[in-house]
Amino acid sequence: MATTGLPELDVARIVKYCASRVPEQYRHEIRVECDVSPRHVTLCECRPPWHEDFGPEWTRFPIARLHYTKKTGLWTLYWRDRHLKFHRYRFLEPSPHVQDLLDHIDNSGDPIFWG
């Protein structure tokens, strides 16, 4: 994983969060995974190929982005629009604890994340 600049414990927490989103017996139908880059982590909903003509690759649909600012030590939540562009989520202030963002995604009731 390319975790340069990201706190390793926070990245591990995000990976664990993703793994816990879908019960084991349904992971052949849907998974939640994360793409790690040097300054952010993108949560993705993954689905198996629905038609064999499209190949064996699972589709990856971005749900949210957790951006880390090393200078301030804060995590900021971003949401994705229909054009796959990310925008700062204005209903949650940046936090030094990535778990605050994960909890908000789960408990806010905002359908912008999980519909």
Q: Which residues of the chain form beta strands (DSSP E)?
A: 31-36, 40-47, 59-69, 74-80, 86-88
Give residue 4's pLDDT.
66
What confidence tens digit (pLDDT) does each residue in 39-94 have? 999 999 999 987 777 778 899 999 999 999 999 999 999 999 999 999 999 999 99
Region 97-114: mean pLDDT is 94
Report the C-alpha gap between 92 and 48 in whole angstroms.
Answer: 32
Q: Which residues contact 87 (CB under 8 A, 6 or more apart)?
A: 78, 79, 80, 81
Domain boundaries, the chain: 8-114
Q: Which residue has the tokens 């849907």?
A: 30
Region 21-44: mean pLDDT is 96
φ, ψ of residue 114 to 5 degrees: the values are -110, 5
Amino acid at 1: M
- Regarding predicted confidence, which is higher, 114 or 9? 9
